[in-house]
Amino acid sequence: AQKITQTQPGMFVQEKEAVTLDCTYDTSDQSYGLFWYKQPSSGEMIFLIYQGSYDEQNATEGRYSLNFQKARKSANLVISASQLGDSAMYFCAMREMDSSYKLIFGSGTRLLVRP
């Protein structure tokens, strides 16, 4: 079964506007962590933001915020005031608190920011 689902293969956003990238996850654990990574065309994986399952407030990190809806098992990434440099692949990932703490990734969303 797919653990992490990103239903938007590609997204466009106008520069300076906000955009939301969707992520839903599947777990029966009560303790887990959700991560978002950015992968520019150069290929490196850049950590953006983290949300723990017990965190009561949505995580924020600069222009990135996470819209965490635990009951719906969604952890959408919101990028405010988009910049041309935000054009990249974005991956949602989950870590379950089992013995391995492995990180499982979704299939990604390609974001293109238009000038």
**Binding residues for other proteins, per CB under 8 A?**
4, 6, 31, 33, 35, 43-45, 47, 50, 52, 91, 95, 97, 99-108
Shortest approach of other proteins to residue 24 CB, angstroms?
A: 14
111 close to 87: Cβ distance less than 8 angstroms: yes
Instruction: Report d(CA 74, CA 31) in Å as an integer.
Output: 15
10 vs 81 by CB, closer to other proteins: 10
Length of the chain as a residue count: 115
Nearer to other proteins, 57 or 99 (CB): 99
